[in-house]
Amino acid sequence: MNLAFLENRNIFLLASGGLDTMTIIDYLAKEVKARVTAGLVDLGQAGEDMQELTGYMKDAGAVDAIILDGRDLLCKWGVRGLIRPLAVYGSGYGLSTALARAVKDYLAWQEMTKRGMDNGGFMAHGATPKGNDQTRFKKGMRMLCPTIKVIGPWNWEPFRAKFPGRQEMFDHCVGKGLHITSDPKEPCSSDKNVWGCTWEGRQLGEALTPTDFVKLAMSVHPKNGLDHSQLVTITFEKGWPTHIDGRRIENLFELVNRLNDICGPHGYGVVDMFEDRYFGDLKCRGVYEHAALKILQKVYDAILQVVMDRQTRASFNNMSQALAWEIYSAEWFSPMVNGKLAFFDYYAKFVTGTVSFELFKGNAEYRGMKDVPYSLYDRGNVTFESGGGFNQAWSEPWLEIECLLPETRHHAGQVEIP
For range 144-173, the mean pLDDT = 95
CATH code assigned at 117: 3.40.50.620
Give the pLDDT of residue 219.
96
Question: 203 and 77: one domain?
Answer: no
Question: 136 and 157: one domain?
Answer: yes
Question: 141 and 245: one domain?
Answer: no
What SS3 class is residue 399? Answer: helix
Q: Among residues 219, 194, 169, 213, which one has the least CA distance to residue 362?
A: 219
CATH code assigned at 207: 3.90.1260.10
For range 331-353, the mean pLDDT = 98
- For residue 264, the 8-state DSSP code is G
What confidence tens digit (pLDDT) does each residue in 51-67 have?
999 999 999 999 999 99
Question: 297 and 168: one domain?
Answer: no
Give the pLDDT of residue 380.
79
Question: 104 and 230: one domain?
Answer: no
325 inside domain: no
Question: 52 and 172: one domain?
Answer: yes
User: Which band of pLDDT confidence, cut at 50, 70 and 90, is reported for residue 165?
Assistant: confident
pTM exceeds 0.85: yes
For range 211-215, the mean pLDDT = 90
Look up residue 376 and give its amino acid: L
Answer with the one of 125, 151, 176 that is the final residue of a domain: 176
What confidence tens digit (pLDDT) does each residue in 259-306 have?
999 999 999 999 999 999 987 788 989 999 999 999 999 999 999 999
21 inside domain: yes
Answer with the one of 130, 146, 176 that is the final residue of a domain: 176
User: Which band of pLDDT confidence, cut at 50, 70 and 90, is reported for residue 1?
Assistant: low
Question: 146 and 235: one domain?
Answer: no
287 inside domain: yes
Question: 48 and 145: one domain?
Answer: yes
- Separate counts of helices (H) and strands (E) for the chain: 14, 14
The yes-or-no verdict on residue 34 having pLDDT over 70 is yes
Kindly report which listed range (30-34, 104-108, 189-193, 315-319) carries the lowest average pLDDT score: 189-193
397 inside domain: no
376 inside domain: no
Kindly report which listed range (10-24, 84-98, 170-184, 393-407) carries the lowest average pLDDT score: 170-184
**Number of structural domains the chain divides into:** 2
Question: Other C-beta atoms within 10 Å of 60: how many?
Answer: 27
Which of 7 and 393 is assigned the larger pLDDT? 7
Residues facing residue 234 across a β-bridge: 244, 355
Q: Among residues 154, 159, 117, 164, which one has the least CA distance to residue 134?
A: 154
Question: 281 and 360: one domain?
Answer: yes
Question: 159 and 43: one domain?
Answer: yes
Give the pLDDT of residue 47.
73
What confidence tens digit (pLDDT) does each residue in 237-261 have?
999 999 999 999 999 999 999 999 9
What angle separates helix 291-307 from helix 252-263, to the nearest 10 degrees? 100
The yes-or-no verdict on residue 166 having pLDDT over 90 is no
Give the pLDDT of residue 188.
84
Report how far apart, in Å, the C-alpha atoms of 188 and of each of 46, 279, 287 are: 19, 20, 10
Question: 133 and 209: one domain?
Answer: no
Domain that holds residue 123: 4-85+96-176
Give the pLDDT of residue 119.
95
**Mean of the per-residue pLDDT values for the chain?**
95
The yes-or-no verdict on residue 149 having pLDDT over 90 is yes
Report how far apart, in Å, the C-alpha atoms of 81 and of each of 46, 130, 346 are: 22, 26, 13
What residues contact 286, with CB distance under 8 A and at least 6 apart?
93, 198, 199, 200, 204, 271, 272, 273, 274, 275
What SS3 class is residue 57? Answer: helix
283 inside domain: yes
Question: Distance (Å, rounded) from C-alpha 343 to C-alpha 85?
Answer: 9
Percent of the chain topping pLDDT 70:
100
Please give the helix or strand (H or E) that residue 284 lies within, else none: strand 283-289
Question: 147 and 296: one domain?
Answer: no
What confidence tens digit (pLDDT) does each residue in 15-31 have?
999 999 999 999 999 99
What residues contact 17, with CB distance under 8 A and at least 6 apart?
40, 48, 50, 53, 56, 57, 181
Question: Distance (Å, rounded) from C-alpha 304 to C-alpha 307?
Answer: 5
Q: Among residues 141, 120, 101, 102, which one has the least CA distance to residue 16?
A: 101
Give the pLDDT of residue 179.
93
The yes-or-no verdict on residue 13 having pLDDT over 90 is yes
